[in-house]
Amino acid sequence: MSPEQASGKEVGKRGDIWAFGCLLYELLTGKRAFPGETQSETIAAVLEREPAWQALPAKTPTKIRELLRQCLQKDANRRLDSIADARRIIEEAQRGWNRWRVAAVAAAVLALVAIGAALWLRGPARPADRSTWVQLTKFPDSVTQPALSPDGRMVAFIRGPATFAGPGQVYVKILPDGEPVQLTHDNIAKMSPAFSPDGARIAYTTYWDREFSWDTWAVPVLGGEPQQWLKNASGLVWTGPRQVLFSEIKMGAHMGIVAAEESRMGARDVYLPAEEPSMAHRSYLSPDGKWVLLVEMDQDHLWLPCRVVPMDGSSTGHRVGPPGGGCTAGAWSPDGKWMYLTSNAVEANHIWRQRFPDGRPEQVTSGPMEEEGVAMSPDGRSFVTAVALQNTSLWIHDAKGERGISLEGNVADPKFTPDGRKLCYRIVREAPNESQWYRDAGEVRVADLESGRSEPLVRGFQALDYDISADGRQVVMETADGEGKPRIWLAPFDRSSPPRQIPNVEGGAPRFGPGGEILFRRMEGKPSMEGRNGFIYRVRPDGTGARKALAEPILLLGDVSPDGRWLLSWAPLHGYGPPAYQVFPLDGGPPILMGSINFNWSPDGSSMAIWSDVGAIIPEGRNYLVPLPRGHALPRIPAGGFHSEEEIAHLPGARRIDADAVRPGPSPDVYAFCRVTVQRNLYRIPIQ
C-alpha cells in the first residue's frame, strides 16, 4: 500500500469519504445531497433518506454514479475504502465526460486528500486526552454497563463479559478508592443497573432465555437479598420519585418503552417500534422531562442508531448519532444540551455526542480501545465508561494440535468447506459475543488449511451473513443496499466470475437448502403488532420460484442440516408465544423444541456443536461436540427441549470444549474455535 493509499484509507475511516460524496454530488447537480430548511431536517435527511439521484446530469457516467452511491452509504463499513480509489474511478471515467466537471472533481479530490475535511461527521475536534482518563476499577477480566448514583459518589456495574445481557454479578463501589462490593450471587443473565433517586437501591434487568423473560430485580446498596420487582420490565430507570421508564414485551418479541409509577399504575406507551419483532431496550429521560433518548434493535435484532422521541408519545421522533452505526447506550448532559451515546459507526465502539436538538454527531473517543456505556456525572464535567482491549482470533484443532488461522482483527462465523480443506470466516469491526444479538458486516475470507494462506473471497465485499453450498462451489451472502434493505448475492468459490445479485429477492440470513435452492428470511405484512412478521422463503438461484418454505413466523434463522431436511430457527411458540429454538422439518411436520439451546452441524452432518445463548444453560465460552447416530440429523432430545447442561453432557460421545464459536469439522478430531481476549475496566473521562 502506497503512502497516498494509506492516508486515503485513514481519511475514509473518519468519514471523509462521506464528505467527498456530498461535495461531488453538489458539484454535479448544484444542489445539496441532503437538503433541509433547518438543521434538524438536514440531520433527518442524512439519517433516513437517499439523495435525489434523478437530479444527476443525464450524461453522468455510470462509474461516477456508482462512485457516489459507494461514498454515500449509510453504513460507514460499506463505503469506498479511500480517496485514492475515488481518484482512480474518476480518472477511468474521464473519456467522453465534460472536461470542466473533471477538473472540478479532481480539484475536490486533491483538496480532501490534503486537508482531510469531514463535512458531515466530525472527528474528535477536541480529542479526549487519554492522559487525563482516571481508572476507577482494576479487574483482571471484564466489567461493563456503569451507572452513577444521583450524588455521583458511587458507581454500580456488571462484572461479566457481556456488554448487553449476559452472565455476571452486580457490584457497587464508593468513588474514588472504595473496595468493590458484590451484591448478587446467582447465575442469572443480567444487564442495565440503575440507582434509585435516593441512592439506596439498585435496579437491574434479568433475562431468562428459556421463557424469554425480561424482568426487573432490585437489591439494597448496603447489601441484602435481591428481590424480583417487575415482571416483563427491562432497562428500568427512575424518572422522578416513584416514577419509572422501562421496556416491555408487547407480543412475541416486540418490545417498546413504557412510562409508569413504580407500582406500574398509570402505565402508558412512550414508543413502540413500527415493525414486529423490533425491540427498544434502553431509554434515558432528558433533564427537562420532555424527551427520551432510546436504544433499539430492528426486526433482525441488529442494533440501530439511537433515537429521540417525545416523552408524551406524540410521535416516533427521529434518529440521532452517526448514521450507519449501531448504538447501544446513551446519556444526557445535566443541562440537556448534549446527548452522549456509544456507536460503532467508525470501526469499533466509541463515545459520540450530539448537541440537542439540531447538532451534528461529534466523535469524543477514538483509537484502538473500545468504550461501552455512558454514565454522566451530576456536575456534567465527566462521564464514566467501560474501556476495553479485546480481540477474537480463529484457531483450528486437529490431529497435530492447535494452531492459529487468523490472529489479527475480530473473527466471526467460521465455517468449513464440505471437503474440510478450507475454512471460511468473516473479519468484522467488533469482537462478536455469544450474548450479543447483532451482526456486523465484514469481508468473507478463505483460509487454505494445508498452505495456511488466507485471502478474501471477494475483496471489499461486506457481508452480514453467508453460507457455503453442499458441493463447495458457491457462497451465498447477505448485504444491505443503499436503502438498508437486505439483498442476497451468489459468488463462485473459485472466483471464476464476479458476485451476482439474486434478482427480485429482498431478504436476509441466506442458507443453501435442498435441491440447490436458497432459503432466506423475508419480512411481510404491514408494520403493525398484528401483521408484520418474518417468514422463511425458498427461491431458485436465478430468482424464480420464490415461495414460502414454512407457514410459521420465524424471528432468526439458524443452521440448515447438510442433507437439507432440517432448519434451526428461533421462533415464537404457538404463533405469538415466547420465542425458543426449534428445529423445523422442511418436508412438513411439527417442529422439535430445543429450548434455549443453539447448535450447528458439521459439514457431513455426522456431529454438531451445542451451546446456549446468554449462558442460559451452558456458561459462555463452553461448547459441547456431540456425535450423531448414523442416519440421524439430531441427537435424542428430551420432551420440551434441553433443560440443563447435564442433559447435554450425558449425550453419547459428548465432549466439552472450553472455547467460543466452536464449529465441527470433517472428522471428530477436527474443529474450529475462537479465542476471545478481553480486559475491560471503568474509566472516568473529563469532558473537554
pLDDT of residue 117: 39
- Write 538-547 long-range contacts (CB < 8 A, 24+): 538/513, 539/502, 539/505, 540/516, 541/474, 541/490, 541/502, 541/516, 541/517, 542/502, 542/503, 543/502, 543/503, 543/504, 543/505, 545/517, 546/504, 546/505
In Å, the largest CA–CA distance within the chain is 78
pLDDT of residue 435: 43
Which distant-in-sequence residues (6+ apart) come within 8 Å of 107 by Cβ?
Answer: none
pLDDT of residue 384: 98
Q: What is the DSSP letter of 93?
A: T
Which distant-in-sequence residues (6+ apart) come within 8 Å of 485 by Cβ?
Answer: 506
| pLDDT digit string, tens, across residues 210-240 | 667 899 999 999 989 999 999 999 999 999 9
pLDDT of residue 105: 56
Domain range list for the chain: 3-115, 130-387+680-686, 400-669
Q: What is the Cβ-side half-sphere exposure of residue 480, based on CA atoms within 13 angstroms?
A: 19
* Average confidence (pLDDT) over 366-375: 90
Rg (CA), the chain: 25
For the segment(s) 130-387+680-686, the CATH number from 3.90.228.20, 3.20.20.70, 2.60.40.10, 2.120.10.30 is 2.120.10.30
Q: For the beta carbon of residue 43, count every other beta carbon within 10 angstroms.
A: 24
pLDDT of residue 95: 54
| pLDDT > 90 in the chain, percent | 56
Is the model more confident about 193 or about 642? Answer: 193
- Would you say residue 12 has pLDDT above 50? no
pLDDT of residue 6: 37
Q: What is the DSSP letter of 124?
A: -
Is the model more confident about 573 or about 489? Answer: 489
* Average confidence (pLDDT) over 261-283: 93
Residues in the chain: 688
pLDDT of residue 114: 42
Whether the bond into 305 is cis, omega within 30 of 0: no
What's the CA gap between 136 and 159, in Å, rounded?
Answer: 14
| pLDDT digit string, tens, across residues 50-78 | 888 877 777 777 778 888 888 888 766 67
Q: Which three cell numbers stand for residue 582?
A: 426449534
pLDDT of residue 445: 95
What's the CA gap between 404 and 393, in Å, rounded?
Answer: 8
- Evaluate whether 130-387+680-686 and 400-669 have a shared fold: yes
Q: Which three cell numbers stand for residue 185?
A: 450471587
Is the model more confident about 609 or about 302? Answer: 609
* Average confidence (pLDDT) over 566-574: 88
| pLDDT digit string, tens, across residues 29-42 | 767 787 765 545 56
Backbone angles phi, psi at 656, to 5 degrees: -80, 130
Q: What is the 3-state secondary structure (H, E, C) of 180-233?
A: CEECCCCCCEEEEEEECCCCCEEEEEEEECCCCEEEEEEEECCCCCCEEEECCC
46 neighbors 323 (Cβ within 8 angstroms): yes
Query: Could you tell me the CATH superfamily of domain 400-669?
Result: TolB, C-terminal domain (2.120.10.30)
Pick from 502, 448, 454, 504: nearest CA to 475 = 502
What's the CA gap between 674 and 92, in Å, rounded?
Answer: 42
Q: What stretch of H or E contains 114?
A: helix 99-115
- Would you say residue 301 has pLDDT above 60? yes
Mean pLDDT, the chain, rounded, equals 85
What's the CA gap between 229 and 26, in Å, rounded?
Answer: 56
The domain defined by 3-115 folds into Transferase(Phosphotransferase); domain 1 (1.10.510)
- Would you say residue 525 has pLDDT above 80? no
| pLDDT digit string, tens, across residues 108-159 | 554 444 444 344 444 454 556 778 899 999 999 999 999 999 999 999 999 9
Q: Which three cell numbers stand for residue 349?
A: 465502539
Is the model more confident about 571 or about 368? Answer: 571
Q: What is the DSSP letter of 107?
A: H
- Would you say residue 422 has pLDDT above 50? yes
pLDDT of residue 121: 46
